A and B are shown apart, each in its own frame.
Chain A
């Protein structure tokens, strides 16, 4: 595509380089001529024309084959003009002089070409190595990262350096939606893709990719139509903006944007290849991210299903067990074949009552918990001194706590706590009932409170009972978790009481944790907020 601007850009950079080359070539030839003059005039060397070869080789090394050939021709003419008799004309008098001149030309051209080819190969190898290194670094940045996100910053930096851009940024977003900037080597404030920029059009197979100028809103347009718009409309007048679309399976996932000075011109083949390969790699990395996200979403859904069915199993088991006892006991009471003593009859009726109570507790725990989890509990704040709260609860639970030493250590000067009276009552009831149930009869209990700072008050309920194995501590507040235990009564808990406790405490903005107590048993640490 021959667009005016591209030509202009190309011309600009070519003419600049040509200028440098011409000046250097002239200097080199002048120096060589001086050397020839000295050799011939001062030192009496008969044929010093080979000195020009130095200039030709220097040009070849610096600027390549074409410069070398040009240099050879110029050297031929210069020598003829300056040193061949008759001097200061292009006329050549003798055959010997002709031979000399032709020799200079041929040797100059051959040396120049050889040196130039050598230089071109070296430069090509250098470029290739630079591309390979850049691509390798980009691959490594993307492959080593867990997701493409953080790696993109590295990729943008690498691209800026390796493709000689003033700025590179990567925008992520599917077709249609605006792109979100994921990485930017410049200040994030001022990036708006200019209405006119160059898009890399990649071709299938080995056809080299090319830069196509687009006008936003119109897609790629023919260069002749745009020729008049070129220049000022392409964003900053001194810079051009480039875009490489990141594709995966044919759909756009974002773009690599780059800016460089107008003087630098469009990227050359190797730089274009780096940009194109980086876009490919980013496309693959983004696609990988998308697959990982999808897999994770599926895994989360699967696990939550598994959890739900485990909970359902657990609930149905826990509901059925007391129900089975009730049915068996009631069935036996009704059965005319079973002969009961009055005491047995009472005991069986009492067991029906207890099992019904157990069922009731389970159901209300499940209801509480589902209310807590649904976020339907609204806390009614009140400022309450712990000092007054604890004795009330202890009095009400006197029967289930039985005969046991209970030590209460609550400093009188503690500020009141911010609680919901109903919630805290249930929390303390559940905790103390647990203690009564699992710590064993007669086991000492201690209730203590202290200020923790940061407007927090700590309340600890601990016992001297058998405690809980260390590996069970973190799971204690999980729904349906029961500490593995042997023997009678081990499975009587619902596994919900402490889950309800945690839910209520958190609803009040507090925290609860469990640890081994220095009394030997279990310690429950409550953290409550100080009333404002």
Chain B
């Protein structure tokens, strides 16, 4: 089954703004988690691993800029800053911290959605096609729609399984270490829980096999996992 549209996390303290954005984005098929403070936002990030983060910089409890760094230590999830601070200096600071895009308030909703879509298309990394679709053999993963298919059939995955597969497919052909998987899927706090990775990988392997995709990835003992590229595909690494 499809997991539904991409999961967005909106961290914004201005309540009328938040309501209007949630209404609009939901109307366009996105699922939106919302947070009014930096602390709530980081908690939602840990729990839900959204596909993209919309971040206001002027938060009541701490500066949005510091959140960017914290998220970037774990994962490459796209961050789109929406802020009333429009100075070049502010925009540069946010982008340098690791934000992927910057939109100055007030902005049009169509532009916001277009930028979200563009970021999601690129979120698959260099291996994704022009539409943001990651395909290895029979398995394809569509970040914008948060959807995994084996052949033509949608595959039902839990959020962690989806996230795990996304990270592995995004670096197909290369070894992804257990540590990296832990940080990206569970967060830095789980750095010592390597058994999580092994348990989820074997579940994922079972689900893929049940859908007809065998040997999608192999274990590199003591290091991590690697998605096998079909012979025809040249290893880009």
Contacts and interface: CB of A to CB of B under 8 A. Distances in A.
Given A321-B14, A325-B14, A332-B23, A490 B60 contact: yes
A320 B17 contact: no
B17 A328 contact: yes
A335 B105 contact: no
Interface in B20-34: 20-21, 23-24, 26-28
6 contacts: A313-B87, A321-B58, A331-B109, A331-B110, A335-B24, A351-B20
B27 A339 contact: yes
A337 B110 CA distance: 11
Contacts of B21: 328, 332
Given A331-B24, A348-B23, A320 B60 contact: no
B93 to A, nearest CB: 14
Interface in A314-358: 316-317, 320-329, 331-332, 335, 337-340, 344, 347-348, 351, 354-355
Given A317-B85, A331-B109, A491 B13 contact: yes
Contacts of B15: 488
A486 B61 contact: yes
Nearest to A351: B16
Contacts of A328: 17, 20-21, 24, 106, 109
Contacts of A42: none
Interface in B60-93: 60-61, 82, 84-87
B236 interface: no
Nearest to B27: A338
Contact of A331 (B14, B37, B61, B108): B108
Contacts of A317: 58, 84-85
Contact of B27 (A323, A324, A332, A354): A332
A335 B109 contact: yes
Contacts, number: 94
Contacts of B14: 321, 324-325, 491
B86 A320 contact: yes
Given A324-B17, A325-B17, 19 more contacts: A313-B85, A320-B105, A324-B105, A324-B106, A328-B20, A329-B19, A329-B20, A331-B108, A332-B109, A335-B27, A337-B28, A338-B27, A338-B28, A339-B27, A351-B20, A488-B13, A490-B60, A491-B14, A491-B58
Contacts of B104: 320
B36 interface: yes
A324 B106 CA distance: 4
Contact of A337 (B27, B60, B106, B107): B27
A480 to B, nearest CB: 13
A439 B61 CA distance: 20
Interface of A: 313, 316-317, 320-329, 331-332, 335, 337-340, 344, 347-348, 351, 354-355, 485-488, 490-491
A465 to B, nearest CB: 18
A337 B30 CA distance: 12
A320 B106 contact: yes
Interface of B: 13-17, 19-21, 23-24, 26-28, 36-37, 58, 60-61, 82, 84-87, 104-110
A316 B86 contact: yes
A338 B16 CA distance: 17
Of the listed residues A316, A324, A488, the one surrounded by the most CB atoms of chain B closer than 10 A to its CB is A324
Contacts of A335: 24, 27-28, 109
A317 B13 CA distance: 14
A351 B105 CA distance: 17
Contact of A324 (B13, B61, B84): B84
A511 B16 CA distance: 37
A329 B60 contact: no
A350 to B, nearest CB: 9
Contacts of A348: 19-20, 23
A488 B82 CA distance: 19
A491 B16 CA distance: 13
A344 B15 CA distance: 15
Contacts of B61: 486
A38 to B, nearest CB: 105
Nearest to B82: A324
A321 B27 contact: no
Nearest to A317: B84
Contacts of A490: 13, 60
- The 7 A-B residue pairs with the shortest CB-CB distance, nearest first, are A338-B27, A324-B105, A328-B20, A320-B84, A324-B106, A329-B20, A332-B24
Given A323-B105, A325-B14, A328-B109, A351 B19 contact: yes
B136 to A, nearest CB: 33
A487 B38 CA distance: 11
A331 B84 CA distance: 18
Nearest to B109: A331
Contacts of B108: 327, 331
Contacts of B58: 317, 321, 491
B86 A321 contact: no
A46 B76 CA distance: 125
Nearest to A330: B20
B92 to A, nearest CB: 15
A486 B60 contact: yes
Nearest to A320: B84
A315 to B, nearest CB: 11
A351 B22 CA distance: 14
A487 B27 CA distance: 28
A489 to B, nearest CB: 8
Given A327-B108, A332-B109, A351-B19, A491 B27 contact: no
B13 to A, nearest CB: 6
A328 B18 CA distance: 9
B58 to A, nearest CB: 7
B123 to A, nearest CB: 22
A344 B23 contact: yes
A491 B109 CA distance: 23
B20 A321 contact: no
Contact of A487 (B60, B87, B110): B60
Nearest to A323: B106
